[in-house]
């Protein structure tokens, strides 16, 4: 089954062609990062307008690159939630029109389910059930993937997403937007014990909930204090200390969940899964615990449409299709 997949939830316009949920024929991505960099973050209206400008061209390019005709497409899948509403609307509307014109089913896909499904593309043998830590710019959650379309959130951030913590910290360090990759790069030259940063403690009943706003504030305070006191800021040291703090916070909770709930398969997904410290720490922890680790290659960690095509296939098999009244949503439970 050949699925034309559309992703437009934030600042990447993406179109892919995916066969049977596992084989990517083409994966076209147009990143708007340069358009937003000057503002230090994504500007929603600029994002929506840029999606509108490039989405049709990208779809044509995808068909050309894969060497398939419009008549070969069996269904159209799109991200319909969560995301910047104006941005998601563009992709949903394009997908609805394409499905109508081609006379094929329309499949709505939850963006985070898509991130998790990136692992099906990278690991053909991976099948549910497994535990998944989804870490991106807007979401951070620990998910019990019982089946392809039966997912239960075990814990989530109570405030900022891990990616937001990296992005806001990068801004105060003058590293630009998006900030995760520059912090990751800078951290490689730094001492991760240079600054003492808090390990977020979350009170309440759920031991798997997380928090990152205190960590972000601690980084901002250290940077401002150094500036006010005219002291030199050890930026590589601060970046390394931040990567360590975020990683320890994520790895500790996730491995505890794996052990307590008896999982022997752990997947990590989302843009922040590209972080080299987090990847290395999960590798070490999983090796020690005898847990099989699945982390997508860097290209499949960030937003892309191939992952939407992968999850779309399983949503279709479960009968989750939509009619032309499909809407877009800024927030949506997993
Ligand atoms: O999954 P994604 O592309 O978009 C969302 O669905 O949110 O994630 C984007 C986030 C941004 O916050 C970005 O700074 C972060 O992923 N990111 C990283 C790295 N590469 C991207 N964070 C830490 N280390 C990286 N190497």
Nearest to 238 by CA among 253, 221, 252: 221
Give every CB contact of residue 184 below 8 A, 6+ residues apart in sequence: 239, 243, 274, 275, 276, 277
Tell me the chain's radius of gyration from C-alpha atoms: 20
Prediction pTM value: 0.96
> Ligand 1 center to residue 215 CA distance, Å?
17
For helices 180-187 and 235-261, the axis angle rounded to 10 degrees is 100
Residues (pLDDT < 70) of the chain are none
Query: Could you tell me the distance, in angstroms and rounded to a whole number, from the CA of residue 295 to the centre of ligand 1?
Result: 14
Token reading at 134: 């989804």
Domains of the chain, start order: 2-116+302-317 (3.30.420.40), 127-295 (3.30.420.40)
**Ligand 1 pocket list (CB less than 6 A):** 10, 136-138, 163, 166-167, 178-181, 184, 270-272, 274-275, 302-303
pLDDT at res. 77: 98
Alpha carbon nearest to ligand 1 atom 22, residue: 180
Tokens of 25: 């024929």
- How much is the pLDDT for 286? 98
At residue 234, the pLDDT reads: 97
Q: 81 alpha carbon to ligand 1 midpoint, in Å?
A: 18
Q: What local confidence, expressed as pLDDT, does residue 201 receive?
A: 75
Residue 24: both structure tokens together: 């990517």
- Mutation test residue for ligand 1: of 91, 169, 216, 272, the one with most atoms within 8 Å of CB: 272
Taking residue 182's Cβ as centre, other Cβ atoms within 10 Å add up to 17
Contact criterion met (CB below 8 Å) for 6 and 15: yes
Provide the pLDDT for residue 49: 98
- State which of 156, 163, 216, 243 you would mutate to test the pocket of ligand 1, scoring each by most atoms of that ligand within 8 A of its C-beta: 163
Gap from CA of 133 to ligand 1 centroid (Å): 14
Cβ atoms 314, 320 nearer than 8 A: no
Distance 102 CA to ligand 1 centre (A): 34
């Amino acid at each position: 089954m050949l699925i034309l997949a559309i992703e437009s939830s934030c600042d990447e316009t993406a179109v892919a062609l995916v066969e049977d949920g596992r084989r990517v024929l083409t994966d076209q991505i147009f990143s708007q990062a340069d358009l937003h960099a000057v503002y230090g973050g994504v500007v929603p209206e600029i994002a929506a307008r840029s999606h509108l400008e490039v989405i049709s061209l990208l779809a044509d390019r995808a068909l050309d690159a894969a060497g398939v005709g419009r008549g070969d497409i069996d269904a159209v899948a799109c991200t319909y939630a969560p995301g910047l509403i104006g941005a998601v609307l563009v992709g949903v509307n394009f997908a609805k029109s394409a499905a109508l014109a081609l006379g094929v089913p329309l499949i709505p896909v939850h963006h985070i389910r898509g991130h998790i499904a990136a692992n099906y593309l990278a690991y053909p043998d991976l099948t549910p059930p497994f535990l998944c830590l989804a870490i991106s710019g807007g979401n951070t959650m620990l998910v019990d993937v019982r089946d392809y379309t039966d997912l239960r959130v075990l814990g989530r951030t109570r405030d900022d997403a891990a990616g937001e913590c990296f992005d806001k910290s990068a801004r105060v360090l003058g590293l630009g937007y998006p900030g995760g990759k520059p912090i990751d790069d800078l951290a490689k030259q730094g001492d991760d014990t240079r600054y003492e940063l808090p390990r977020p403690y979350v009170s309440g009943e759920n031991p798997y909930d997380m928090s990152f706003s205190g960590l972000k504030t601690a980084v901002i305070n250290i940077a401002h204090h150094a500036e006010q006191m005219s002291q030199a800021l050890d930026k590589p040291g601060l970046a390394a200390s931040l990567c360590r703090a975020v990683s320890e916070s994520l790895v500790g909770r996730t491995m505890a969940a794996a052990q307590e709930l008896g999982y022997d398969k752990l997947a990590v997904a989302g843009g922040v899964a590209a972080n080299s410290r987090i990847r290395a720490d999960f590798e070490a922890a999983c090796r020690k615990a005898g847990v099989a680790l699945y982390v997508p290659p860097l290209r499949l960690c960030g937003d892309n449409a191939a992952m939407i095509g992968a999850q779309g296939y399983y949503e279709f098999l479960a009968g989750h299709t939509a009619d032309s009244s499909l809407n877009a949503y800024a927030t949506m439970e997993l």
